[in-house]
Structure 1
Amino acid sequence: MFVSKVFRLPEVSPARRFPSFSACLPEDIPSRTADHGPEPPVRKPPKGSSQLNRWSRARAIRSGRRLDSPALRKMTAPHFSSPPPTSSSSSPSLSQLDEIPPSISDDFQDDGEVAAAKAIYMVSDGTGWTAEHSVNAALGQFEHCLVDRGCPVNTHLFSGVEDVERLMEIVKQAAKEGALVLYTLVDPSMAKSAEQACKLWGVPSTDILRPTTEAIAAHLGVAPSGIPRGAPGRKAPLTEEYFQRIEAIDFTIKQDDGAQPRNLNRAHIVLVGVSRTGKTPLSIYLAQKGYKVANIPIVMGVELPKALFEINQEKVFGLTINPVVLLSIRKARAKSLGLDGEMRSNYSEMDYVREELEYANKIFVQNPVWPVIEVTGKAIEETAAVVVRICHDRKQKCLMPRISKRY
């Protein structure tokens, strides 16, 4: 990591602490001279909600963006007044960074931000989907550290690594940056090369795929092919499951927003809820898993289709949401449609939102077989997991309370 991307320092004389910094600074930063006088102190901007700040920093960290720390901007030349180091490196060493004054390091901890982020290299001989999602899922367990304790992480995905030469270049770069290497290399020889190279250069590493592959091979009693997905010698078979998934997606698109209610009996899942509760994206996500999904909006003054009550009621799922969250979503939607000022309707008014949710709740109470899922704060994947679990339990004849239960 180049320190110039983090430290925003004015140019200093070679007699300062880190003269090599000047080579990395942007050219548009003016030098400080005696005529200009000392640089005025930079005041910290007022902090907003601590919860919102943590969420904002978490999103920045997870997306790999560097954080702009007020503490970093306060660092000026007087902090680096000791004699220059003898090293000719263009960036400071770890020992030099450790010599930063305690007051500055304390500021880093207070703001939850640090100068250098730890790197994680994800290496794959395929698309890297498995490695990327595995790492993101694991990083979710460390948000308390990433946000509150100031230990940001930069993730780098290297996909399509099919030759040892490129693999060695990646491992060497990881050794220079002190990165962790996590790899999903299907070819046993490539995986072995990665393991040996990481040991040789002292790079911490883990094979994400091998433990699972070996466990499945032992369970099935069949050796793995060792060919990555998408390789020239491997063609994905067009199985019946593939065609069922395509059919499910086609069905779901045609049944969006209450269209063609006569086909509800063909659906595996029927979603019911007021506008902007996420029915359409949830439908598409479930369709990609092979479920034929229909969704029907609940609108005050408009009767639900009779076909909804004639099909198997265990297919129907209700969706509800917090009124404050729904209001904010609808306001954004109304603004995007240009429904501002005089043209704005009651679609994005709190009284109407509450009334519409109460109307939907009455329908849910009248149909106690329908599970009601609270989607507030849930990702599409989380809501889909609840729906799939309930469908599976009902298919397996698991005991389910026949009341309007909220999930």
Structure 2
Amino acid sequence: MSSIQEAKDQLNDVIKKSRVDMYKPIQIAEVLRYSRLNIDKALQITELATYKNKSCKWRDEVTKVLLGKSCTSSANYQHDLWNAVPPESLKLLDTENKRTNGGVERYIYLKFSEKQKTIASIIAYIESTESKKFELSELLQFFKLNPGIKRSIDKAYEIVTYSLFETIIVALETKITVSVPSKKQNLLNEFSDLAKVLLGLQEGHNSWEFAAHIYRVGVTNAADRGLDMWANFGPAIQIKHLTLDTETAKKIIDQIESDHIVIVCRDTDKNIIQTITQQIGWGQRVRGIIQESELISWYDRCLKGKFSNELAKPLLECIANSFRKEFPHSVALADFLEERKYITIIVDSFWTTNNDIDKIKTDQ
């Protein structure tokens, strides 16, 4: 590594490839901050071992404030960061950060702000667009075409799928009944304490009824093979927007412990999954395969069809609220920037962001 420009290019590459949460860039920012302020006396910027593990904790302390969550990816995936920005590059960034009194840290957090603002504009689109003019394909295009949030398209697919499924299930007033036949009464009496915990059956009752719902599991792992959603009436739901091959698809099905798997995928990947389900022992586990085009069609029916008066409002509210929960943009970030005094740092032209350019235009 010979120049600060090359080091900055490496940093920008990590930022570009990061999802909206920007865990890896934030980890870099925190190492630079700890070094600049000499918070951790043992930290040596050229010695990876002095911050490799500790920096994960420093990063999580920040993301819990800004995002309300911390990184759950595997340790190997998290440590890959230091291959993208090795110690010799970090040393150049560290020197530059100290020269600018935190300018590189500021640069990273303003880039984080830019990604969050893009999500905010998407939420604004959802909330301001009339239901009959709302197009799911247009929403997904935001993620497909915008480099700043392209890496977070998997979360967009999860949210739009969850919102549709939950809205329809609730609108149908779907109920689930758990019951034990009367011929098993003696066995139920013997294990009434266990049945209460395991089945929710109160003593003296052989059955009970509850509302059906879909639940999002939350953050998936780095390999994107984790369970995305589950229903309290059986199905395990996996969302795949990435290109699949036969081996990857097999791993997806193998790793989900359910006999009722629903897979949501791109239209181009359906044939691969169907091929696998035709193999012995697979077909019975996959209840159904839903294509992106079907999601778009169902959204159109909800928002513009004969039941739109009943479905449109709750569907759009669900999708907007889900985006807000997944991508909390906010007062927390403004307070954070102010507390760190990043707002008052004199901007070095080399570390100018789009936020700075917008502010200059506004001031003029």
Which TM-score tier does this pair reach, normalised by the shorter chain? under 0.3
Q: Answer 1 or 2: higher relative contact order, Cα 8 Å, separation at least 6.
A: 2
Bigger proportion of residues as helix: 2
In terms of Rg, which structure is larger?
A: 1
